[in-house]
Amino acid sequence: MISRYFPPRYDVGGKRAYRFALHLPEHGWQPIILTGAVPEGYPADPTPLRLPASARVVSDYAPSWWRYRRSGLADGTLPDPIPAATVGGARRWVNALTTLPLRREVLLAPRTALWARRLARSTPIDLVFATAPPWAVLAQGFAASRAVGAPLCLDLRDPWTFGFLHRNLPPWVRWIERRAEANLMARADAVIFTCDDIASAYRDRFPSLPPEHFTVVSNSYDPSLRPPAQPLFEHPTIVHFGNCYGPRTLEPVLRALAVLRRRGAAADLRLLNLGRVKEVDLRLAAQLGVRDCIEHRPMLPYAEAMRVLAGADLQLLLAYGDETGYVPAKFFDYLLSGTPILCIARPSALTRLVAETGAGRWAEPDQVEAIADTIAAATRRSGDAGIAQPNAAAIERFSAPRTTAQLARLFDEILADRKPGQPRSS
């Protein structure tokens, strides 16, 4: 398993790989995870890890001299708000000329292949699983699989060239990355996505590949980390767990809070953001007269954050604006906490999941009055909040043991196709 992120790093992308590694041994697979160490100066999440003895973590993703560049946008451990983009025309031109397709981590692919070849001398490698972003990890997975002659399974936690981050790249970089994506899709034995919508989009883009080449294994929650029942906060509280960057913004809920203020409500209502917020959102809150409602803190250790979610009146689930190809991993943490969800998104796989699980309500970003009504109902603290009871059976589908069993079946099928009649080493 190649995953740049892995606990105790705070990065949410590492939790998917961790939950798979936690449960794969139950299905006869022994994961060896190649990941990066927590860089110097970065905080580490103290939440205990529970990996079985048969799972091995190798923190040798990059050489010791490799310089990690701390991402200001997606690093929720930084306390300051994200400033508005101020890059001028000349700077954008220089960036366009110096941007490396797949970014500089693609340069690690030969090193990863050498690591895998050395590992294979003492440990049989039956399959290579690479999870991205960063997208260079997919190239590293391909290099490793070729080096040891093992099948390759690519895992895309987000859409690559369909995503909004790709659209902001220089045209020549986008062209090369589309070619790289097509090449990797074709050479993989299977490609995994986290929701049906984006899997369908990739099937449409690559009609020459069989539809079953692309499959879906959802993100999940770890049932063992379910927080105990928590008392509500002193004041009615909405919690957003994560960072606001790109098209993701607090604007719809800020406008809803202003509506509630005009109704004479929300006097003591609080919106708590655990992660980075945008300066433009804070300025808008001040303009709307609701800045006193907003509190933002850096990300908390996972176990502590789950207790905060469990004590909230409402959990805020924000899509990336009008983007519909994303199901944020925090949705599954929200399912675990048990607190009602307010999802603000366009109709998509995300809104369908909210409806199917009965975990909350959803509204489109411009339905400010509906957002305000849901907030008012959930924070009234006097009787029924008007949100249907969760569907326990639907929610159970997203437990880590269930999703990992699905992944293990896929691994077994890939290996059976590659080595008909031969037993799998484990």
pLDDT in tens, the chain (426 residues): 999 999 999 888 899 999 999 999 999 999 999 999 888 878 889 998 999 999 999 999 999 888 876 656 677 888 889 888 644 455 555 555 567 888 889 999 999 999 999 999 999 999 999 999 999 999 999 999 999 999 999 999 999 999 998 988 889 999 999 999 999 999 999 999 999 999 999 999 999 999 999 999 999 999 999 999 999 999 999 999 999 988 999 999 999 999 999 998 878 999 999 999 999 999 999 999 999 999 999 999 999 999 999 999 999 999 999 998 899 999 999 999 999 999 999 999 999 999 999 999 999 999 999 999 999 999 987 666 667 688 999 999 999 999 999 999 999 999 998 765 444 443
Residues 46 and 98 in one domain: yes
* DSSP conformational letter for 2: B
Residues 169 and 133 in one domain: yes
Residues 91 and 116 in one domain: yes
Residues 266 and 252 in one domain: yes
Give the helix ranges, DSSP H, for 123-278. Answer: 136-148, 164-167, 171-187, 196-205, 251-262
Residues 209 and 304 in one domain: no
CA-nearest of 6, 14, 31 to 119 is 31
Residues 283 and 342 in one domain: yes
In a domain, 369, yes or no: yes
State the Cα–Cα distance between residues 309 and 287, nearest whole angstrom: 28
In a domain, 424, yes or no: no
Residues 265 and 382 in one domain: yes
Residues 177 and 113 in one domain: yes
Q: At what angle do helices 279-288 and 251-262 cross, to 10 degrees?
A: 10
Residues 149 and 287 in one domain: no
What is the CATH classification number for the domain harbouring 290? Answer: 3.40.50.2000
Residues 409 and 390 in one domain: no
pTM of the model: 0.92
Residues 241 and 145 in one domain: no
CB 319 within 8 A of CB 122: no
In a domain, 371, yes or no: yes
In a domain, 8, yes or no: no
Residues 177 and 291 in one domain: no
Report the number of distinct structural domains present in the chain.
Answer: 2
Strand order in the sheet with 341-344: 294-297, 270-274, 237-241, 314-318, 341-344, 360-363
Domain that holds residue 408: 13-220+399-418
Give the helix ranges, DSSP H, for 311-361. Answer: 330-337, 349-357
